[in-house]
A and B are shown apart, each in its own frame.
Chain A
Amino acid sequence: KAGVTQTPRYLIKTRGQQVTLSCSPISGHRSVSWYQQTPGQGLQFLFEYFSETQRNKGNFPGRFSGRQFSNSRSEMNVSTLELGDSALYLCASTKAGGRETQYFGPGTRLLVL
């Protein structure tokens, strides 16, 4: 069974631009969560989608948004990029959330110049 895939793997943007990252969960998984990892703040929860609805949200500004499609694939968008948005963005999937193990993708490394 294929694991969680994320595209692109690397991305360079400039301040003020916007970016869209994509995540394809493990086949059969309907819950997708997004996390941001930075050296200063560590690994932080962004949001979780299940059946095309946002089910949980972390403490990030409204510039960070996401969505989920009917095939469970998810995208996250960051608008008006800031230097501090440079990070590794990870997504994880489970069948339905709850007390299930979250399986992570390889991440998208975003560099904002």
Chain B
Amino acid sequence: SQELEQSPQSLIVQEGKNLTINCTSSKTLYGLYWYKQKYGEGLIFLMMLQKGGEEKSHEKITAKLDEKKQQSSLHITASQPSHAGIYLCGAPRYTGGGNKLTFGTGTQLKVEL
């Protein structure tokens, strides 16, 4: 089984609707990254959460980290076509002075007009 599970796997919403993507870890979280990917392209950094209870917002996207539950959620308010893509959560594993990211299974978001 995957260390990081995302739900839902895919999502179709109408423009203007709100949505939430969840990321649950089977191991202790030492922070959590959220990235967005257009199909077949590189990852675009969205947000990094470092402490339990931390919440960050950027434009219409808000992410929260619940370390006790080993979960993070990403919430998009009033979705737009530009929000479409694959959302990936990544858990850092700090070893040797470096950082290995373990990624979730991804959530594909489509926004219909």
Q: Which A residues form the contact surface with B (CB < 8 A)?
A: 4, 31, 33, 35, 42-45, 48, 50, 55-56, 58, 88, 90, 92, 94, 96-107, 109
Contact = CB atoms under 8 A, between A and B. Distances in A.
Majority DSSP secondary structure for residues of A touching B: strand
Contacts of A31: 98
Contacts, number: 74
A31 B95 CA distance: 13
Of the four ranges (under 10, 10 to 19, 20 to 34, 35 or more), the interface on chain B belongs to 20 to 34
Interface of B: 2, 31, 33, 35, 40-45, 48, 50, 88, 90, 92, 94-106
Contact of A105 (B40, B42, B95, B106): B42
A35 B37 CA distance: 14
Contacts of B42: 4, 90, 104-107
B100 A107 contact: no
